[in-house]
Structure 1
């Protein structure tokens, strides 16, 4: 179902761009600029099955959720990779994945690159999705438009009793409040708060005798 939906949306967008004269054709494909030829060229694609390849994750579903959570909330480049910037260019760090392979073995893996501001913005905007597109979108039972009603029908069909969340009567408001979680920008793990130092408090005490 997902492959056919994507096929229809993709071909409809191609047709719209062609009607708006936003597609260019060269060489042996120059004839596709004609509306009739382009329509005939698209016809077989509407009948071809578009394959969606999926397989079970190696490390289990938790690893997939961890990867997707990082992917959906990151941008093209993080602030920590920016080294310097001015009117002349933008300097940033990048990782050379070929540094440890073949003839490149022994080279520095983390390098710096400086680009003109216009070129840096051009490359940055390549990671911005067009209007109407989403990085990850749920379909079927988890579609945003009908998720609550669909899940209610699923629970009814499976005869699953929905229990309200239990609240411990002995739990105090202070005990129910969780400590804030700070995440390391480098490894992505939660930071453990060892000590909280208030303003005006002496950080280091007298040396032990």
Structure 2
């Protein structure tokens, strides 16, 4: 398997020289973090064996959300939280896409446009739910922003996992869409695209950002039934914190070029793409999100502040979401190389201040 850190070490200098004028501080930080993840250059933690008293230093992971090695545990925790918020209703996966003509504007004003994209997507779902004759209330949604296509090109869109249900706060009623002969129908895709387009245009103009010279009048929206919702959440959670590419998909790094595989969405077949090392790194680094931006958000009655409401719904509707919760994967313990016993973390964030001298910061092991 070819590590992304090795590609950065080999082509990093050429990449910075070629794309310096397009790189932000956040992207340079991501480049450095991934290159030094779990390497001797990263901070260390000291582990100690209680059986044989052996101890040694282990490098920390970088924790960057674009790194393919980090935040697997956070991804699992997020998925468990979402599973506990499932309700007895038919679920739909809504996808709202920003046109290709907007990509330059989105890259130049990422923090603003990304936020507008998620907010306008939710406002569109909320408006349709309020106007729907069977719902007439506040819906719930789990939204995740994606910035890439399967080919790793910049392709901005937001996925929303939405139950076909709503809460009428005024009348304190719970309403669900009724199933017809062809299953449950949620919202019209073309109508959603029109409303989403209007909301995005209004938000961008209100922010004083000049619109693109040309963009299509018709935007794209998809509404797909996903059953009880757990499979859609598992799919979104799988790519939430693990970067945009798996290192297993990097096929070759030779002759100054990097090749990787991806699955063609139209044919379903695996295809290969090859670029120079610098171009490949730009393909990855262009998906660095603005610092502090939350790409996964909960809206409506699925918001984190609605825990009591969700618990009440589970009680009244006699619904137990625990059966959908995937089995927890425990972090594998670190074993002593001498006796094989489990080793405990006693110090973290150890940095070398000078040869032979080590500065330490003791913390609780569970905080890592």
Task: Please state which band the TM-score falls in when normalised by the shorter chain.
Answer: 0.3 to 0.5
Q: Specify which structure has the higher proportion of strand.
A: 2
TM-score normalised according to structure 2 size: 0.27
* Structure whose alpha-carbon radius of gyration is higher: 1
TM-score normalised according to structure 1 size: 0.42
